[in-house]
Structure formats: structure tokens, C-alpha cells
Amino acid sequence: MSQPEPDEICAQIRSHSFGSFGASVRNFVCYLSKRKFSTMDGQDFKDVVVAKNEKLMAAYKAKNFPACAELYSEDCQIFPPGAPATPGRQGVIDVYSKTYACGAETLVNSTDEVMCCGELGVELASYKLLKPSGNIMEHGKAIVVWKKTKGEWLLHWDIFNANK
């Protein structure tokens, strides 16, 4: 399989509609695509993201926040709504444990769109936090930058905020 040229990758990326913030992410990924190519197509990457999110949701439901953190890169950052960016896996543990303690017993992630260039990928997603009753506590959207580290895709920058 021949590698696409950088300009071909950028043209494909530019054909997606991501909104203004997403456009900034798109341009960043396009820039990076000129440095290193990916042999993974979008559907393969989406399959990886969906599988990793299933693991994340199961670990969260089980209150296994260290297992949640293991799905993130060591140098990750998580950007919770209304709070400062929180670095590292310990930050992930802190954010998830505090979220659970607030009454959000279940996390439901839904991957809407992905793109992948080289060692980075971007996921546009929506999420729900559910109370023990199953009622929605919070519904929002997310942009997640994934980073391939030692052959494994890990969440790297996790940015999310509520719709209300």
C-alpha cells in the first residue's frame, strides 16, 4: 500500500466539518501529517477508539480509576469543565474519582467522528454521566487527541464540557 502525499492527507482532513475549535485541531493534525504518515485508515482507528472507550467505561463503572488512567499516556492532560487542566495519570484518577463522588455512577461515551494522521488521532465525541437511577446528570461533548505510544493508542489530551 502506498503512502498518501502530505497534501492529499490535508485535503482529506480539510473536507471534514469540525466547527471552529475542531478546525484548529484539524489544522494542527494536518501540520503533523506532513511529518509522519499513518498506515491506519479511519475505520481501523475508530475501531480502536471505540474498544478503548469500552474499557474506560467499564473501569469507571467498577470505580477502578487507576485502570481508567492506564488508558491515558503518561504525559496526558485532562481538561474538565470549569477547572484547570490536570496533568498526568494521577490527574485522571483525581478527575474520575471526584466525578464519581458527585453522583455520576455511569459514564457513556459515544464516538461521533475520528481522523488519524501519523502517531496522533483526534476523536469528536459526546458523553453522558448517569446517576444511579439511570437519569442523565450531565450530557456534553469532547475532543480527544489520541497518541500512539510504543505501538498502543492512548488518550493524550481529553477536553470535555457540558452542553448546559
Residue 122: give its domain's CATH number: 3.10.450.50
Does residue 73 belong to any structural domain of this protein?
yes
Does residue 89 lie in a domain region? yes
Is 14 part of any domain?
A: no
Q: What is the chain's mean pLDDT, rounded?
A: 86
pLDDT in tens, 67-121: 999 999 999 999 999 999 999 999 999 999 999 999 999 999 999 999 998 899 9
pLDDT of 14 higher than 60: no
Domain around 150:
39-162
Q: Is residue 5 part of a domain?
A: no
12 domain-assigned: no
Taking only the tens place, the pLDDT of each residue in 59-68 is 999 999 999 9
Higher pLDDT, 37 or 82: 82
Q: Give a yes or no: residue 98 inside a domain.
A: yes
**CA distances from residue 163 to 81, 116, 128, 142, 158 in whole angstroms, order as listed:** 10, 26, 10, 10, 16
Q: How many domains does the chain have?
A: 1
Q: In what order do the strands lie in the sheet with 152-162?
A: 86-87, 72-79, 152-162, 136-149, 120-130, 106-117
**Considering the domain boundaries, does residue 82 fall inside one?**
yes
Residue 115 lies in a domain: yes
Is the pTM here over 0.85, yes or no?
no
